[in-house]
Copies of this chain bind each other. A is one copy, B any other.
Amino acid sequence: MAHPLSPLWSARSIAVVGASDRPGALGRLPVEFLQRYGFAGAIHPVRPDGAEVLGLPSYPSVRACPDGVDLAMILVAADKVPAAVDDCVSAGVPAAIVCASGFAETSDEGAALQDEVVAKARAGGLRLVGPNCIGSVGVANRQVTSFSPLFAGEQTRLVDGPLGFVSQSGALGYGAVSLAFERGLGLGWVVNTGNGADVTALEAMAAVAAEPGCLGLLGYVETLADGDALRRVAASGVPVALLKAGRSDAGQRAAASHTGALAAGDRVVDAALRQLGIARAHDVDELLDFGDAFVQPRRPAGPRVAVVTTSGGSGILAADEVDATGLQLAELAATTVRELDAIVPAYGATANPVDVTAAVMSRPELFDRAPDALVDDAGVDLVVACFCVLTGTDVDAVVASLARAAERSGKPVLAARTGADHLAPGAAAALRAAGIPTYPTPARAVRAAAALHRTVECDVSDRHAGVSRRKRHTQREGAGVPGAGIGERELKVLLAEAGLPVPIGRLATDGADAAAAVTEVGGRAVLKAVVAGLTHKSEAGGVALDVTPADAAQVYDRLAALGGDVLVEELVGGGVEALVGVAASPLGPVLTVGVGGVLTELLNDVALRLLPVGRADVEQLVDETRLGTLLSGVRGAAPSDRDALVDLVLDIAALVETWPAGFELDLNPVSVTGHGVRILDAAYIGPEAP
């Protein structure tokens, strides 16, 4: 059975609700475009008066249309949308596109209307795209169910290709489509989701990925609020690139704990996309650049790039970007260098980046050997070939050499061509036809190569969970869930019951009891004021270090005066201080690991992952921050027990799985000593009441 959203691009019968015959009217454009671009299915204008639209008979309702409408395009104003949706439901239409503005993007009343419309659709089994959107396109089906002015352009042609493009924004989305078509990048499936009231951009992307022939997905999104949907897109089996707008909103969220503040906004998005193997584009042209890399069928087995160029300058620019993107310049084998020595003049370079020099362009039989030599090197995963002023006479030989090397080896070959199109008018099309994605500059080619690598570096099975996680979780099943107002002491008891390492200690009842407790924990202790709402204890004078039985009573009195309990704990000294936290995010709970203790705010150095995680994720988290360096021992210090910290993090990740959504857990500092680890401070902030 076809996907319920497939009528967005493969409809057989389309009702245009609110169709008009008046030139320039919104209600005329989709009918005009469906006819103009050659849609072969049925087009049914729907309008109350039964008048013809562009020569087609109209119907008073969707229900009255013949032969089973499978997509309704609703172009009426917002206040008429509920009735149109009712009509679609009663006609049994599976999917509708609602174009009107005036919903949640406008006002509270609009939001209420939107909720009403979505409720009707869901109750009636109708999937609803929009409102406040411009529609969809299915190129193979010649289906333009959109009113974008792009399709009115005299020279506009649909360009088919194995790439899907989904955009929350309509105007920007179809602007990007026009740029893709202009560069010859085919987009077989285009959807604009607008307000995303029912069908979200992520859901539409997953649906496109399921289409036979889809080789990649591009998306423009402004909100990312569904971790599971994002995982489904990532696991769809095709490379995915997202342009996520709204980066600068980072940190706008009021957060009650360090972990909350550190895990806010764009940082979560960045970590999640990285973790899920989704390439992140930072601009529209970069998103299309990534698409060009996705539609060629080869994938790199690793990050090792060989750069071959006819200009030393291009080679340096490419090498700079290899470094900046985290790819690696391949170390060429001695046999490769020997082969290149036979080609390259003395003023060129046979080390990577390989500069064959512009002179070689006048001897195609020499250049011809270079791409082969590079792809045949086992230490090379992909090749970036950089040209400058590529003229008509050079093109055929270059294209043939690059295409043969790519095809023979199965390694991706990307090209940069830093020169005007008119110098070799056929080059762009020839390179595209040969499966060599081509960019205007070396840096853009390398960034596209990095995006391609990003989509293959984590394999899909890793994107779900780690086996080790499940196993550890089983061991901890008895552990409880913290109550909303849980204090530090009770939280530590809960953690201890779950098998996690907290300091020995107890609450003291008075000064004499405090002295006794100090003796019980070994004669040297930390005393802490446990006061509801006091999260930054040290700054408030609520912590006393290295208390002996002799000082205990006096310290007790001072801390008790802050208005809460006094906790006496063993003194744990000399460890590296880590932060381990879990915070809520729109994409689900986020694990945060980094430098803790007094350096927390100063360094602001944490790494993030969506839960669940496996051991490899946690090892990476530690290494992404300076915590990894600190644990290995700096300035002559002995190394700390990194394994114990990793175990602790995995245990925490497993423990919180059963906790209700929306909490924050902040373990800071966690002291990592030479042997073992101890949670010195712990705070829990429960989900806010709804």
Binding site for B on A (CB under 8 A): 101-102, 105-107, 110, 132, 148-150, 152-156, 167-176, 178-179, 181-182, 220, 222, 245-248, 282-285, 310-314, 316-317, 319-320, 322-324, 345-347, 358, 388-389, 391, 418-423, 440-441, 443-444, 538-539, 598, 601-603, 626, 629-630, 634-636
Nearest CB on B from A635, distance (A): 6
Which residue of chain B lies nearest to A24 when distances are taken between CB atoms in the complex?
B362
B171 close to A311 (CB less than 8 A): yes
Structural contact, A148 and B346, CB atoms closer than 8 A: no
A358 to B443, CA, bound (A): 34
What are 29 A-B contacts with C-beta separation under 8 Å?
A102-B346, A107-B346, A149-B423, A150-B389, A154-B422, A156-B422, A156-B423, A167-B313, A171-B358, A174-B419, A175-B311, A175-B418, A178-B423, A179-B420, A182-B420, A220-B313, A222-B313, A245-B317, A246-B316, A283-B317, A283-B443, A283-B444, A285-B444, A538-B635, A538-B636, A539-B636, A598-B635, A602-B629, A603-B626
Q: Report the 3 A-B pairs with minimum CB-CB distance, sorted nearest first.
A: A169-B313, A175-B388, A171-B311
Residues of B within 8 A of A314 (CB): 169, 171-172
Neighbouring B residues of A148 by C-beta, 8 Å: 389
A248 CB contact (under 8 Å) in B175, B247, B324: B324
| Nearest CB in chain B to that of A423: its residue | B153
- Closest chain B residue to A626, Cβ basis: B602
A181 surroundings in chain B (CB, below 8 A): 420
Please tell me if the beta carbons of B422 and A153 are within 8 angstroms of each other in the complex: yes
Please give me the residue from chain B that is nearest to A319 by CB atom: B248
Q: Check B313–A245 contact: CB distance below 8 A.
A: yes
* Given A156-B420, A222-B313, A283-B443: 16 more A-B contacts, CB < 8 Å: A102-B346, A149-B391, A153-B423, A170-B358, A171-B313, A171-B358, A173-B313, A175-B418, A176-B418, A178-B419, A179-B440, A245-B317, A247-B320, A248-B322, A248-B323, A284-B443
Q: Tell me whether A419 and B324 are in contact (CB under 8 A).
A: no
Taking CB atoms, residues of chain B closer than 8 Å to A345 are 101
Contact of A284 among B102, B150, B441 (CB under 8 A): B441
Residue of B nearest to A243 (CB): B317
Within 8 Å CB of A282, what residues of B? 443
Q: Kindly list chain B residues whose C-beta atoms are within 8 Å of the C-beta of A313.
A: 167-169, 171-173, 220, 222, 245
Q: In the complex, are the beta carbons of A172 and B443 less than 8 A apart?
A: no
Contacts of A153 in B (CB 8 A): 391, 420, 422-423
How far, in Å, is A416 (CB) from chain B's closest CB? 9
Closest to A246 in B: B316
Q: Which residues of B contact A176 (CB under 8 A)?
A: 418
Q: Distance (Å) between the CB of A391 and the closest chain B CB? A: 5
Q: A263 to B538, alpha carbons, bound, how many Å?
A: 36
Inter-chain contacts of A636 with B (CB < 8 A): 538-539
Residues in chain B near residue A312, CB distance under 8 A = 169, 222
Q: How far is the CA of A269 from the CA of B71 in the complex (A)?
A: 58
Question: Smallest CB–CB gap between A137 and chain B, Å?
Answer: 14
Q: How far is the CA of A636 from the CA of B539 in the complex (A)?
A: 6
Q: Give complex CA distance A312, B175 in Å.
A: 13
- In the bound complex, do residue B284 and residue A418 qualify as a contact, i.e. CB atoms below 8 Å apart? yes
Contact, CB under 8 Å: A106 / B317: no
Cα distance, A282 to B283, chains bound together (Å)? 15
Check B179–A418 contact: CB distance below 8 A.
yes
Given contacts A388-B171, A389-B148, contact A285 B441 (CB under 8 A): yes
Residues of B within 8 A of A106 (CB): 346-347
Cβ of A284: which chain B residues have Cβ within 8 Å of it? 317, 418, 440-441, 443
- A443 proximity list for chain B (CB < 8 A): 282-284
